Amino acid sequence: MRIVTTARRLLSRQTAGARPLPTADFYFRGPLRDLIAEADTSADAIRQIGPHCYACGANLVIIRYAAPDELASIAARRWESVRYIIDDLIPAAASSPELPADYRNRLADFAANRLPRILALHPTIVAPSKAILDTFPDHEGELLDPCCLALADNRHMQPTAWTHPLRFAFLGTRSHEGSLDLVTAIADRLASRLPGSTVHLFFGKHLPKHLRGHPSIRNSPPLAWPQFRRWMADAQFHAALAPVQPTPFARARSITKVMDHAEVGAVGLYGREPPFSQAVTDGVNGRLISFDPDAWAECLIELAHHPDKAQAMAAAGIELARTRGNPARIRQFWMERLRLPDPAAPAAAPSPRPRPTPAD
C-alpha cells in the first residue's frame, strides 16, 4: 500500500508543469474532459497521474510518450488493463529523412530506450492507422480516429468572400518540414497567378533564410499547443494544404489535418496518399493531389475561379470532420474500455461557431 501511495504522489508531482500534448486532446481529453478529476476523489474518476498517463481504477492509459520516472512509477502498480495511444509510426522515425534531425533523433531514442518498457506492460495498442497497429504484431490493437475539437461555421466561404485576397494555410509543425519545398514551390506559382494571395506557415526561426521576405509567404512563430488552440478559435482560411511525403512514417499519420481544416473553415487539399486517400473523396469534401507543385497550384487557382464549388467542398469537409471525429463515438469507446457509467448524455459533435468575415 505504501508503494502505491508513494507512486501516486510522485506521479501527481510530475503532472505539474507538464507540456500538453495534442495527442491527449485528440484521442482522450477532448471527449472526456468533464470526467477527468483533479484528485483521486471517486472510483469512477479518470485521474491524470503523470505527464502522459491517466488512470481510472485499475485501468491505465498511456498517451504517446512516458518519462523514465513515470515508467518506474506505473511499474510499481498492478493494472487490470493498459492501453497505449500512439498516433505516429515512431519505430520508423530513425529512417524517415523528411523529419528534422533533432526531432528524428528524439523519437529514435524514445523508440530504443523507453518504448520497450511501455510494451513490457503488455498494452493494447490504440492507433489511428492499421500501419501503426501492424508494427506491434504481438499486441492487441484497436483503431481510433482523432476527435473533432471544434468546427467553423463556413460563413466566410460564401462566394463573395473569394473577392478578397485569398488566404491559404499550411498548418504543419516542424515534423512536416519535409513538405516545405513543395509548399514553397506552390507559393512561387501563386505569386504570379494569384497576386495578393498568401500562404501562412508556423516555422518561425526555422524557416529557411531564402524564404524570408517571399511575397506569398506569411511566417509566424510556432505556438505551444494551448496557444495554438486559442489561435484556431479565431483563424479562418480559404484553403489549407496537407501534402504527404512518400514515406512509411508520413503514410501512417492520422487525419488530424481534416479536423484542423474544418476548424478554420478551409477547403482541404491533401496528398493523394494514405491517410487522406482513405478518408477524403476527391472533389467532394476535399481534393487529393499528387506530389507535384503545378498540380497543387492549379487546384488553388481553380478554387479561386469557382467559389461556389469551393464553398460546397469546404462545407462537405466540415461534415466529414464532424462524422469521423464525432466526440460522442470516441467518448463511448473509452467509457466501455474504462468500465465507466456515463453520468451524462454522450457529447454531441461540435456545433459551428460564428467567425467574422475575412477583411482585406
Residue 178 belongs to some domain of the structure: yes
Report the pLDDT value the prediction gives residue 359, as an integer from 0 to 100.
37
Same-domain check for residues 182 and 314: yes
Residue 351 belongs to some domain of the structure: no
Same-domain check for residues 126 and 254: no
Count the Cβ atoms, other than its own, within 10 Å of residue 93: 20
Same-domain check for residues 196 and 126: no
Residue 318 belongs to some domain of the structure: yes
Q: What are phi and psi of 13, to 5 degrees?
A: -65, -35
Same-domain check for residues 71 and 200: no
Element (H, E) at 126: strand 124-127
Residue 303 belongs to some domain of the structure: yes
Element (H, E) at 50: strand 46-50
Same-domain check for residues 229 and 301: yes
Same-domain check for residues 121 and 270: no
Residue 256 belongs to some domain of the structure: yes
CATH code of the domain covering residue 266: 3.40.50.2000
Q: What is the 3-state secondary structure (H, E, C) of 52-87?
A: CEEEECCEEEEECCCCHHHHHHHHCCCCCEEEEECC
Q: How many whole angstroms separate alpha carbon 214 and alpha carbon 211?
A: 5
Low-confidence ranges of the chain (pLDDT < 70): 1-19, 38-44, 154-160, 342-349, 351-360
Q: Which domain holds residue 267?
A: 151-324
pLDDT digits (tens, 9 = 90+) for 33-66: 999 986 555 556 899 999 999 999 999 999 999 9
Q: How many whole angstroms separate alpha carbon 211 and alpha carbon 346?
A: 47
Same-domain check for residues 126 and 35: yes
Report the pLDDT value the prediction gives residue 19, as an integer from 0 to 100.
67
Same-domain check for residues 196 and 295: yes
Residue 224 belongs to some domain of the structure: yes
Cell of 22: 495534442
Helix (H, G, I), strand (E, B) or coil at 253: coil
Cell of 201: 506557415
Report the pLDDT value the prediction gives residue 37, as an integer from 0 to 100.
83
Distances (CA, A) of 338 to 82, 203, 233: 10, 39, 31
Cell of 27: 484521442
- Count of structural domains, the chain: 2
Q: How many whole angstroms separate alpha carbon 299 and alpha carbon 297?
A: 5
Same-domain check for residues 164 and 299: yes
Residue 347 belongs to some domain of the structure: no
Report the pLDDT value the prediction gives residue 259, as an integer from 0 to 100.
97
For the whole model, what pTM was predicted?
Answer: 0.89
Residue 359 belongs to some domain of the structure: no
Same-domain check for residues 276 and 337: no
Same-domain check for residues 123 and 235: no
DSSP conformational letter for 255: S
Same-domain check for residues 335 and 284: no
